[in-house]
Amino acid sequence: MKPTLRVLLVEDCEDDYAITRALLSKSVSTVFTLDWVRNVDEALEWICRREHDVYLVDFQLGRDTGLELIAQARERDQSGPFILLTGMRDSELDLKALHTGAADYLPKDGLAHRLLERTIHFSIEREALVGSLQSRVRQLTTLWELADAFEYHGDKNEVCETVCRVVPRAFPARSRPQVSVHVGDKVHGEPPSGVEVMRKSFRVEEEKEGRVVLWSEDPSFDRDAFREEYGEFLDFVSHNLTQTMKRLDLTRQLQLIELGVRQARDSIMITDALLDAPGPRIVYANAASQELTGYRPEELIGNSPRILQGPKTDRSLLANLRQTMEEGNTFQGVTINYHKDGTEFVNELRVMPIRDNDGIVMNWMAIQRDVTEETQLRDMLRDREEQLRQSQKMEAVGCLAGGIAHDFNNLLTGISGFTRLLLSGESNEAKQHDLNQVLELSDRASELTSQLLAFSRKQTIKPKVIKPNHVLEESTKLLRRLIRENVELRMSLGEDVGHVKFDPGQFHQVVVNLAVNASDAMPDGGMLKIVTEKLEQTIGDPAGSRQITRQSVQLIVSDTGVGMDEETTKRIFEPFFTSKEKGRGTGLGLATVYGIVKQHGANITVSSLPGQGTTFKVIFPRVDEPETATEKEPSPEKISLAGTTILIVEDEGAVREVAERMLKESGATVLTASMPSEALALCVEQEPDLLLSDVVLPEMSGRQLYLRLLQLFPSLRVFYMSGYTDEVFGSDGMVDDDIPIIQKPFDAQQLRSRISALLRSPSAV
């Protein structure tokens, strides 16, 4: 069967149309179907339909020319081939026709049917070849632009937008579809709603990303022909797009890893895998490594991690590290390392292998962190726990001391009371001497219980507003007698340091104990310096809204003695701990000072270095109250309790009996009871003026007994006796001025004068 070719003739002369039709009909190899139009407008309309295989165009078309028609068709991206027919023989016109886009140029005169047929076939073949070459050029140009995007663009969106913009340029404008790119769930260049896309997207079938989808709003778009012509090109684009997406994902992951490593707060160093001498070398160090070590990353790279080691680096840890690395395992540990400037830091490190896909160790990564502060905090916490345990031990000892003191003071009260009563009577000189010895020993025993109660903070104290400078001035002579002769005492008492609230006797005891301790620390002589000064401390308001300035008074007792090491300084306030040689210290002196100071709400610190002396600092809260006036006790001969009925309630028989005799000798009527129930029974028959009661009693406390009796006798007054007051007045031992109490052991003069003063006071307790 002969092939059929459709020919469009653009000719304004009917005779020429007839001649052309006759020539085409003579073909023996091809069937030509001829359509004829007379002008440019009709011709363009037919050309845009793309229904013909070749166009024969007359040069002269009325006011227009065939060259103008060809130019307009090419501008509309319409393919030919166009063969220009003219009645002139002009080589210049021939060149101009070819330049305009004509496939060939034929003069009308002498035109034979074979020449026309051959020219038509050659023009069609040439047009197909040119079209194919142009398509390849467009595709190669497109791929060149895409290669730049695939290679250098670092953003997925930019790559996809470039594909959507550039790929359509690979197609001829007359049949150019649009492009959508599907990456995961995201679509770039999505077609309008209702537009049918090509059924087959172009992608590498096993890939999940990078699909290129074509769509066109032209209903005449030949999808099958387009896929056949451009399918290979589009699959190539899709495959490279997929690989680019993977590369960008991997690049992004690497960037995130690099950012994470670079910005990590922990030091991260990577070494090579060499373990044999000279050992691994650092190949990477992040910015935090400089903060950790003091070395810049470029100083670390190429060096061995040994650059951080020093005298205190744990050698056994290094041995374990090497063994772990030889086994290919991860290592964790803590050791001392050294900064660039030589200072130490505690390094917590974790060393792990970096393996390739075959499991071979290619590098080692060390993550390191400075845990110096954490270590110090842990040590501090451990010290605090030790202090807490010590405090609990002190509390237990204090409870024991309180119980012992209660019973011991009862015994001492009886011993000293009866002794003083005997001394007040007539006796020979030898008896007098023996009794004096008994009395002296009981006083010393009383001092021992006072020390026990002081460090356990269970003694009875009556703070008064005092001037520390006055107490120190009055103590000067005594202090000079107590310290060594080769120790110089120097006082520097600040002006107007103010008042503090402190038991005067115990303030004196604190100073004496510190001074004696300092003197003992200077066996070869030295200087003891006592200083007072005002102190202002700025502290935060508990509410956190402002700063508060607290006024304080500071007492400083320093010596130039032998000093103490750190371990001794930590334990200096422990009860029964002493740095003195055996037999020269009880270990209660500084513990007593500590207990007294804390019981009064003050604070004490110590600083010392071997061979450089010791300094104690006691900080007292300053009070803006007038100094408490000193009470004068009446002289012994003026004390008379005649006409006064006193009820004594004491479960210790010796104390009860000695108190009874002391008061009877002053003229008082005395009722005695060993139990609260006995006391209540006695009061049925006789009303007492004053209750003298032990604080701690069977059945109920002395305070509870007083409250019971107060309901019967509203004017009854009370006076307490106590060895310690923890069970009644609180663990701090603080007793208000309006609670009359006498500390055991006491003598007749103390008891009589205190009761006399109470009875003479204007109001009842």
CB neighbours of residue 163 within 10 Å: 28
User: Collapsing DSSP states into helix, strand and coil, what is residue 418?
Assistant: helix
| Paired residues of 9 in beta bridges | 36, 56
Peptide bond into 745 cis (omega under 30): yes
Residue spans of the chain under pLDDT 70: 89, 91, 152-154, 172-176, 184-185, 187-211, 213-229, 388-408, 411-412, 414, 422-423, 425-438, 440-461, 538-549, 575-588, 629-638, 724-738, 763-765
In order of their start, the domains of the chain are: 4-134 (3.40.50.2300), 153-260 (no CATH), 264-370 (3.30.450.20), 379-455 (1.10.287.130), 468-623 (3.30.565.10), 636-760 (3.40.50.2300)
| Paired residues of 179 in beta bridges | 214
Note whether 574 and 398 are within 8 A (CB). no
CB neighbours of residue 332 within 10 Å: 12
Cα gap 473→530, rounded to integer Å: 11
Greatest C-alpha distance within the chain: 182
In this prediction, residue 205 carries a pLDDT of: 38
User: Collapsing DSSP states into helix, strand and coil, what is residue 233?
Assistant: helix
Cα gap 423→421, rounded to integer Å: 5
CA dihedral 297, 300, 301, 306 (to 10 degrees): -150
Look up residue 611 and give its amino acid.
Answer: G
Run of H or E including 551: strand 547-559
What residues contact residue 282 under an 8 Å CB cut-off, 6+ apart?
269, 270, 271, 300, 301, 302, 303, 304, 305
In this prediction, residue 489 carries a pLDDT of: 93
In this prediction, residue 204 carries a pLDDT of: 39
Note whether 349 and 333 are within 8 A (CB). yes
Q: What are phi and psi of 246, to 5 degrees?
A: -65, -45
Structure tokens at 263: 């910005």
List Cα–Cα distances, 463 to 7, 36, 434, 466, 733, in angstroms. Answer: 130, 132, 37, 9, 11
Note whether 284 and 315 are within 8 A (CB). no
Note whether 639 and 395 are within 8 A (CB). no
Reduced 3-state DSSP string for 437-500: HHHHHHHHHHHHHHHHHHHCCCCCECCEEECHHHHHHHHHHHHHHHCCCCEEEEEEECCCCCEE
Cα gap 549→541, rounded to integer Å: 10
* Residues in the chain, overall count: 765
Could you write out the DSSP letters of every residue in 671-732?
A: EEESSHHHHHHHHHH---SEEEEESS-SSS-HHHHHHHHHHH-TT-EEEEEES--HHHH-TT
pLDDT tens digits, one per residue of 490-549:
999 998 898 999 988 788 889 988 998 899 899 999 999 999 999 887 665 544 555 566
In this prediction, residue 201 carries a pLDDT of: 46
Note whether 212 and 163 are within 8 A (CB). yes
User: Collapsing DSSP states into helix, strand and coil, what is residue 373?
Assistant: helix
E strands within 184-278?
186-188, 211-215, 267-272
